[in-house]
């Protein structure tokens, strides 16, 4: 059982998907779904990027004024 689905429920879902999308589109759908999951996992595992670009002088002056 996958997530509360029995064998018959899983077969019915797969048949409905096959009817809706057709046999030709299933490899495309599976491939794009796999790429999406892979990209999602990669984004979760990577640490957040830190912006180290230098600030412009105008931005620094505005920040100092707002701190006062």
Q: Helix (H, G, I), strand (E, B), or coil: what is residue 48? A: coil
64, part of any domain: no
32, part of any domain: yes
pLDDT for 22: 86
The pLDDT tens digits for 32-66 are 989 999 999 988 887 777 777 776 666 666 666 66
39, part of any domain: yes
The pLDDT tens digits for 14-31 are 889 889 888 888 888 889
Contact (Cβ atoms closer than 8 angstroms) between residue 2 and residue 10: yes
33, part of any domain: yes
18, part of any domain: yes
Contact (Cβ atoms closer than 8 angstroms) between residue 26 and residue 16: no
pLDDT for 29: 85
* Number of independent structural domains in the chain: 1
Q: How far apart are CA 51 and CA 2, in angstroms?
A: 42
Contact (Cβ atoms closer than 8 angstroms) between residue 11 and residue 18: no
Which range of residues forms the domain containing residue 12?
7-44
Residue 2 has pLDDT above 60, yes or no: no
12, part of any domain: yes
Q: Which residues pair with 5 in a beta bridge?
A: 2
2, part of any domain: no
Structure tokens at 49: 């990027």
Structure-model confidence comparison of residues 66 and 12, the more confident one: 12
pLDDT for 62: 64
């Amino acid at each position: 059982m996958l997530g509360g689905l029995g064998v018959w429920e899983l077969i019915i879902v797969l048949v409905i998907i096959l009817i809706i999308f057709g046999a030709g589109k299933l490899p495309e759908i599976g491939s794009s779904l796999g790429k999406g999951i892979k990209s999602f996992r990669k984004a979760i595992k990577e640490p957040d990027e830190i912006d180290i670009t230098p600030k412009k002088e105008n931005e620094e002056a505005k920040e100092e004024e707002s701190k006062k």
